[in-house]
Amino acid sequence: MPHPRIFILFMLALLSAIPGRLQAKEEPEGWRFGGWEFVEINHDFGQSPFFASFYFEHDNLQYRHFDCWYTRTTLGVKLLSWLKTDAAYDFVQEPSCQVHKAIADVTATLKEGPLKLALRERYLHSWIPAQNRQGNELRSRLKIQYAIPDSRFSPYVAIEIFTWKNWIKTRHYIACDYDLTRWMQLEAYYLYYTHKEHPAQHILGMGLNFYL
């Protein structure tokens, strides 16, 4: 595991760059709500370092009358006890088109007792055949989670910044996981979503994580 001080300094450097990026367009009168629901199935291949997952999400953004769903299929490998990488494919069905996305992730995790800090870097390439359009994104996510002792609750906060040369959008999460069983987990969150091209969005999300 890397030295905790190096990891923490790196995260502080990342957070110090956030304020200048959080300049979304001014929100007009009225709230902007959405609801996201998801199911994720995770599987580790025995004692091997490989893992896989399948993810389904349905998104509804009320003020934009926008409704879509997508699936994500992931295959990854644990390089070290604190470091993993994976590749994924997204199929997105939007009202007017279909989107294909190729994803590559690297995630570093630091654990200290009930506290867990994770930093994930993601590259995403998207392709919309109907519009003959392609694009790229880099996503940096910092997640801090605390497993409350002698309980099934694990609240967390997270921030995810989308960039490609310039700031695109940012997600701010306040959330909590609840262990229903040893292999099933309920997750609920509030997401404040800022975007350079749209008013800020207020999203409530809920889903189930399965570990098989």
Both structure tokens of 117 = 């800090």
Homologous superfamily of domain range 38-211: monomeric porin ompg (2.40.160.40)
Per residue in 132-174, pLDDT tens?
999 999 999 999 999 999 999 999 999 999 999 999 999 999 9
* Residue 197: predicted pLDDT: 82
pTM of the predicted model as reported, rounded to 2 decimal places: 0.85
Nearest partner of 56 among 97, 107, 92, judged by Cα: 92
Flag whether pLDDT at 24 surpasses 70.
no
Cα within 13 Å of Cα(90), Cβ side:
21
Rounded CA-CA distance 24/115 in Å is 31
Rounded CA-CA distance 80/209 in Å is 23
Give the whole-number percent of the chain exceeding pLDDT 90: 76
Rounded CA-CA distance 51/107 in Å is 14
